[in-house]
Structure 1
Amino acid sequence: MKLTTALMGAAATLVLTPAAFADGHEGERGRDGQLNIIYWQAPSTLNPYLSGGTKEIESASMIVEPLARFNEVGEMVPWLAESIPTVENGGVAEDLTSITWTLKEGVLWSDGTPFTAEDAIFTWEYCTHPEGGCANINYFDGVTSMEAVDDRTLKITFDAPKPFPYTALVGSESPIIQKAQFENCIGAAAPTCTEQNFGPIGTGPFKVDEFKANDVIQLSANENFREAGKPAFATVLFKGGGDAAASARSVLETGEFDYAWNLQIDPQVLSDMEQVGIGTVAVAFATSVERLMVNQTNPDPALGDERATLAHPHPFLTDRAVGRAMSMAIDRSLLVEVGYGAGGQPTCNVLPAPEAYASTANDDCLTQDIEGAKQVLEDAGWTDTNGNGIRDKDGIELEVLYQTSTNAVRQDTQALIKQWWSEIGIETELRNIDASVFFGSDPGSPDTFQKFFADVEMYTNNFAGVDPEAYMARWLCSDIPSPENQWQGNNNQRFCDPAYDALVDEMSQTADLDRRAELAKQMNDMLMQSYSIIPLIHRGNPSAHANSLGGVKMNDWDSEIWNVKDWYRTE
């Protein structure tokens, strides 16, 4: 087995030398004053390992950094590392059981202390502690040891040949945190370290001055940042909360903010705002999918501490006929037309890209079939025995609580889906939750998307980079949120199948690109045909920036603000 650049697939090219991002805009660090960023979902922590939410991961990406990132076209570029290790340059072992990274020389934490391989090792130990509840533990799958050969050399060893060894400490979801700051926050203590979680010391272009959970972050330029003259901005105001429409107006109409994230609003309204002429809407497509998660466990409050756990399967959503009918009833093309415009495409897969990994086995979902959905339910014994318009079987009625974050487009989607499900005999109660709470990390809140105290929930998720191995591992049985892991984990719908776990294991040991694509498609199809996930929209990510803001390179493969160190004021 040989790891070559071809292993990255057609969607990406392995870059072995630092990419040149500069636009010829040079000057003193902090020369351009304040940068104003608005994310209408407010971060609840700045520790990305304690939340799987995009708002936490992206806000933290300005502060803590990985060894390598994926740029705006999906290319891997070195970040805290000097270069990308491969078999050809000796960085990856011939038998694919280890990878050795060389850290950039002279990198300092924002407190002025040296960044070393020991910090990387600690990060692995922190995230993989069995009591830590790390949200992104799947990035360390297969790692058996990390060794500091010296201060600038990190060797990672795997339990088997690792054909794609670029997961641990790569990308915005797996950054390196400082050992000295977090060493007393291991295991069950992790969520209790408020000072550390709200103000991590980092190697990135900015440092935290003040963090108000679910509200605002004040940052300033890291005077110890390794690149001369960067960042161009002296301070950053990162505002959270509100809604997507208000965020769009703040950049495109009023000019109050320089950058607004995730503008999921009526596409015509967004276009009209852009016509004012002070800002630009940019869209990036990668792997984001708006999906319905269909709870495989029973969220009934009467179950107490065991609600929404594997101890109690869902009374009817584990019947694939019900999930299949729910999917068939949806007109995905109309959802795109109403809510996404050029920023969306109908999809039947949770893994829509890169193209080599995209299945065509589920494409029948692209055509709405209300009558077919009714027949599927009839054939499975779900009929309306009491004439109330709701199908039932064995005394159980098809009634679902369908929740999502508060967002105009999502509420429009909910309303349409409720109507379609009503037509096939499923009664739906709609609920929307403030995004900062829904995507929050508070283990005590009953309203987080990971706790999933509802029957169906809707949100968008994606993965960093171009290889789906770590992403597809999110649906391992072991990654199910539960009271035991403080409701962390990515397998929110509680799908569990040993056959799926076996495919994840096989992919982790497979080097051949074609076989890896086959395995990824098999896993996607297994999830789709379980109807524990019902994909809706392959989302482009529309955001907006002021015309006076230079250096922005929209990216849906990593943190959207991955290169904030290169942003500057043009006028």
Structure 2
Amino acid sequence: MKIRRISAAVAAVSAGALVLTACSGPAQESEIEGTTSVNVGWNEPFRSTNNLTANGNATANANIVYLTTSFFNYYDGDLNLAKNEEFGSYEVVSEDPFTVKYTVNEGVTWSDGTPVDAADMILFWGAQNDMFDTVAGGDVPTDADGNAEVPAGEVYFDSSSPAMNQITTFPEIGDDGRSVTYVYDSPRSDWEVSMNQPSPVAAHVVGKIALGVEDPTEAKAAVEDAFENNDAEALAKIADTWTNAFNFTSLPDDPDLYLSYGPYVISDYVENQYLTLTRNESFNWGPEPKVDSITIRYTEDPLASVTALQNGEVDLIAPQSSVDVLATLDGIDGVSYTTAPEGTYEHVDLTFDNGGPFDPATYGGDAEKARLVREAFLKTIPRQEIIEKLIQPLQEDAKTRDSFLFVPGSPGYDEVAAGSGADAWAEVDIAGAQALLAQAGVATPVDVRFLYGKSNVRRANEYQLIAASAAQAGFNVIDNGDDTWGSILGNGTYDAALFGWQSTNTFILNAEANYITGGQNNYGGYSNPEVDALWAEVGTNTDSAREVELATQIEQKLNADAFGVNIFQFPGVVAHRDVLQGVSTIALSPTIFWNYWDWEISASDSLDAPSASESE
């Protein structure tokens, strides 16, 4: 299985996906003369230009990757999937075997002038295909920070894609190296979003760093050859580079680590403070921005984001909504805001493989005893109390979310939720939890280490409510709150985690990485062969009615296994200074960044914000 050592502050899935599905749109000419800049507030710092790794799979990274790369397709404002033909094209060339050809248009280049081409698409495929790994993730030790320590000479790409795993023959390269044709072993119902860009990091840079090949053309050829020949010696070096070299928390000295083939290029980054992107002057294969630079400024505190907006330090924010946030926004002149449910949902996941209270190994391998303890804990989570005290003040009609796979209100949600067994968690059942612990023969109190974002006021309040309720049944819920919780997910140091998944597309299939054995986002080590088999059937299914049946069966098993529990759909708020026009958001990642090309500054005003060189 893959190591899931780090993931997202708000990672990716609901009715959606775990691989960033970003967008493009019609090219537009700038209408603003002079240099313009926008400052955006965000809650978690960027940490990797490779958002395909376990470490890089974070919304904070996906936002930057979205602005610095290009994609074959995108979701528009109505959540319709559309092609970006200015960048490239793709087509199904055979139904049996299922075969898709991708072609990058001539003239598309990385910001160093090197063409974006087949080598980058080969890297995207090969790095996420488990068949090249010579060591399983479960056999790879981790250091004190949870980073993989791959044995010398072993091949281990810290990533996995069920779709890429379905392509086991080396793809055909054509059109003077600009196209790649993939032949799937079996069809994938979500194929159109599974391979939606060449690569977030450059194949020629990977070849240069890993293999010491300086010439870009030769470096790309070396990467292609390593995958085509399954050259373990070369792939071990490529895997190490691909997994680790593109992670950074301040601007690296080597610009190769942050090359772009999108509308913007990273130009400055001060750790834990801000990251600045400036226009990529060579970019003309997608929607051209009207704003010359974007600076992302970081703070976990929602009220601090509002204060920064009020003070003109940022121009656009999407903070976690709260009564205080909305009340403060109401009193700020020159600021507009909107509220609506987001594509993100809050949930609690349990850990199955860390020697803790929910792990069968703790009870000598007794899986049923561990399941009873998990079920007992989930019965104590006060979902309705959390909704009434923390969410309904922001959204009067807020209700609990009762499906793992479907967004409330979407087709199939009501049917799946009604038949999934989620009603087991509808109300707190202290007596039932105590009876289950007694049935398991487990002495109380049972210690449960609980991970959440400590400085996040709403999550801190959720923790307090959960801990107080669970204590009544005999659980000692230990405060493991940590502001770096995103880098802790999957490292085994906690027993329960409270965080959010965010949708990135409208296919339920890509949720499988949360729940299948060894799935990249299956941080708790859950494994059920019957669930794996159901996901395999979902992968090739094209019947919507059958999809609902399969989803219901998957959710029944997740609830029966006491995998975890969902709580609520996020009540969202987006606020911006009125001088910034064109702001919009969608209920999928990259949310407020999706239509960057529409952002502009009203002709009669300017955004007098601090420059990116100033500290905060």
Query: TM bucket by the smaller chain?
Result: 0.7 to 0.9
Q: Are residue 422 (structure 1) and residue 471 (structure 2) matched?
A: yes
Q: Corresponding residue for 2:41?
A: 38
Q: Corresponding residue for 2:499?
A: 459
Query: 1:267–1:475: structure 2 CA closer, same or farther, 3 Å change rule?
Result: same
Distance in 2, Cα, partners of 1:178 & 1:275: 47
Calculate percent identity across the aligned residue pairs.
18
Q: Corresponding residue for 1:165?
A: 191
Q: Are residue 243 (structure 1) and residue 267 (structure 2) matched?
A: no
Q: Are residue 218 (structure 1) and residue 272 (structure 2) matched?
A: no
Matches within 5 A, 1:44-443: 44-50=47-53, 51-79=56-84, 91=92, 93-95=94-96, 97-128=98-129, 129-130=132-133, 131-135=155-159, 137-138=161-162, 140-144=164-168, 145-150=170-175, 151-170=177-196, 176-183=200-207, 184-185=209-210, 186-194=238-246, 195=252, 199-226=257-284, 230-251=288-309, 253-261=310-318, 263-283=319-339, 285=341, 287-299=343-355, 319-341=370-392, 342=394, 345-353=399-407, 355-358=410-413, 359-360=416-417, 361=419, 362-364=421-423, 367-370=426-429, 373-379=430-436, 381=438, 393-395=441-443, 397-406=445-454, 407-434=456-483, 437-440=484-487
Report the 3-state secondary structure (helix = DSSP H, G, I; strand = E; otherwise coil) of the residue aligned with 1:207: strand
Counterpart contact for 1:357–1:518, Cα < 8 Å: no
Report the Cα offset of residue 411 of structure 1.
Answer: 0.2
Distance in 2, Cα, partners of 1:58 & 1:163: 26
Q: Corresponding residue for 1:484?
A: none
Report the 3-state secondary structure (helix = DSSP H, G, I; strand = E; otherwise coil) of the residue aligned with 1:525: helix
Report the Cα offset of residue 228 of structure 1.
Answer: 8.5
> What TM-score results when the alignment is normalised by the length of structure 1?
0.80
Segments of 5+ residues of structure 2 without an aligned counterpart are: 1-14, 17-22, 134-154, 211-237, 247-251, 606-616
Letter in 1 for 2:594: W
Counterpart contact for 2:29–2:290, Cα < 8 Å: no
Query: 1:95–1:550: structure 2 CA closer, same or farther, 3 Å change rule?
Result: farther
Report the Cα offset of residue 366 of structure 1.
Answer: 6.5
Aligned residue pairs total 511
Distance in 1, Cα, partners of 2:296 & 2:589: 19
Counterpart contact for 1:348–1:365, Cα < 8 Å: no
Report the Cα offset of residue 325 of structure 1.
Answer: 3.2
Distance in 1, Cα, partners of 2:390 & 2:481: 17
Counterpart contact for 2:514–2:521, Cα < 8 Å: yes
Query: 1:284–1:122: structure 2 CA closer, same or farther, 3 Å change rule?
Result: farther
Query: 1:198–1:279: structure 2 CA closer, same or farther, 3 Å change rule?
Result: farther
Report the 3-state secondary structure (helix = DSSP H, G, I; strand = E; otherwise coil) of the residue aligned with 2:569: strand
Distance in 2, Cα, partners of 1:192 & 1:160: 31
Counterpart contact for 2:120–2:199, Cα < 8 Å: no
Letter in 2 for 1:220: T
Report the Cα offset of residue 77 of structure 1.
Answer: 2.0
Q: Corresponding residue for 1:304?
A: none
Distance in 2, Cα, partners of 1:340 & 1:95: 49
Query: 1:454–1:363: structure 2 CA closer, same or farther, 3 Å change rule?
Result: closer
Distance in 1, Cα, partners of 2:498 & 2:422: 20
Counterpart contact for 2:336–2:578, Cα < 8 Å: yes
Q: Mean alpha-carbon deviation: is it higher for 342-351 or for 58-67?
A: 342-351
Distance in 2, Cα, partners of 1:122 & 1:312: 40
Counterpart contact for 1:43–1:59, Cα < 8 Å: yes
Report the 3-state secondary structure (helix = DSSP H, G, I; strand = E; otherwise coil) of the residue aligned with 1:534: strand
Q: Corresponding residue for 1:483?
A: none
Q: Corresponding residue for 1:506?
A: 537
Letter in 2 for 1:182: V
Report the Cα offset of residue 368 of structure 1.
Answer: 1.9
Query: 1:318–1:53: structure 2 CA closer, same or farther, 3 Å change rule?
Result: farther
Report the Cα offset of residue 497 of structure 1.
Answer: 0.9
Distance in 2, Cα, partners of 1:317 & 1:42: 41
Distance in 1, Cα, partners of 2:368 & 2:270: 39
Distance in 2, Cα, partners of 1:381 & 1:228: 62
Report the Cα offset of residue 45 of structure 1.
Answer: 2.1
Distance in 2, Cα, partners of 1:81 & 1:126: 26
Report the Cα offset of residue 520 of structure 1.
Answer: 2.5
Q: Mean alpha-carbon deviation: is it higher for 174-183 or for 561-570?
A: 174-183
Segments of 5+ residues of structure 1 without an aligned counterpart are: 1-9, 12-17, 301-306, 383-391, 441-447, 480-488
Query: 1:164–1:40: structure 2 CA closer, same or farther, 3 Å change rule?
Result: closer
Report the Cα offset of residue 309 of structure 1.
Answer: 9.3
Report the Cα offset of residue 420 of structure 1.
Answer: 1.1
Letter in 1 for 2:322: D
Distance in 2, Cα, partners of 1:239 & 1:220: 15
Query: 1:68–1:318: structure 2 CA closer, same or farther, 3 Å change rule?
Result: farther
1:165-194 residue CA offsets vs partner (Å, 9 max, x unmatched): 1233338xx854321122345212334425
Report the Cα offset of residue 232 of structure 1.
Answer: 1.7
1:243-284 residue CA offsets vs partner (Å, 9 max, x unmatched): 222112222x222101223x2242353243233133233345
Report the 3-state secondary structure (helix = DSSP H, G, I; strand = E; otherwise coil) of the residue aligned with 1:519: helix
Report the Cα offset of residue 356 of structure 1.
Answer: 3.1
Q: Which of 529, 533, 541 is residue 564 of structure 2 equivalent to?
A: 533
Counterpart contact for 1:37–1:239, Cα < 8 Å: yes
Query: 1:20–1:475: structure 2 CA closer, same or farther, 3 Å change rule?
Result: closer
Letter in 2 for 1:348: D
Query: 1:202–1:453: structure 2 CA closer, same or farther, 3 Å change rule?
Result: same
1:331-359 residue CA offsets vs partner (Å, 9 max, x unmatched): 32332343334465411222232723432
Letter in 2 for 1:355: S
